[in-house]
Amino acid sequence: MSAMKRNYLLLLSLSAATAAVGKEFMARIKMNVDATAAPLWIDSRGIGVFLSTKLPARQIWLHAFPDSLTFAQRDALRDLLIIQVGPDVAGPPEAKSIAWLNSHKASHA
């Protein structure tokens, strides 16, 4: 029996010095975790990504970090949070986030 996909929200705080890394994170997530991962936002202060995967949060964490980062760059990116999204959520029905969650409810069944 294979594990069911779980839905996650990945939040990464960025600064001016680490802003370019956000796009690398997104590329690695699409390549290593979820090819259909959808960014809720990407800007100079951070990135928020919805994704669905059978991987646990720790494995998502390991797959998201670009290999090219130095120790100092990794240390500067400590504000990474991966939250599993469950079936009990609330928000405006027209919100992009709620639409994404509603379209992925089957993975909660």
Give me 47's structure tokens: 């990135």
The pTM for the full model equals 0.74
Query: What is the number of structural domains in the chain?
Result: 1
pLDDT of residue 98: 75
**Number of CB atoms found within 10 A of residue 48's CB:** 16
Q: What SS3 state is found at 73?
A: helix
- The reply to whether 1 falls in a domain is no
> Which CATH number belongs to the domain containing residue 37 in this structure?
3.30.70
Q: What is the mean pLDDT of residues 67-82?
A: 77
Q: What is the mean pLDDT of residues 30-42?
A: 89
The residues pairing with 31 across neighbouring beta strands, listed in sequence order, are none
pLDDT of residue 105: 61
Report how far residue 107's alpha carbon sits from residue 103's, in angstroms, rounded to the nearest whole number. 9
Buried b / exposed e over 58-71, threshold 16 CB at 10 Å, is eebeeebbeeeeee
Q: What is the mean pLDDT of residues 40-44?
A: 79
Q: What is the CA radius of gyration of the chain?
A: 14
pLDDT of residue 108: 41
The band of 107, judged by pLDDT with boundaries at 50, 70 and 90, is very low
Segments forming the whole domain that contains residue 37 = 6-108
Average pLDDT, the chain: 80
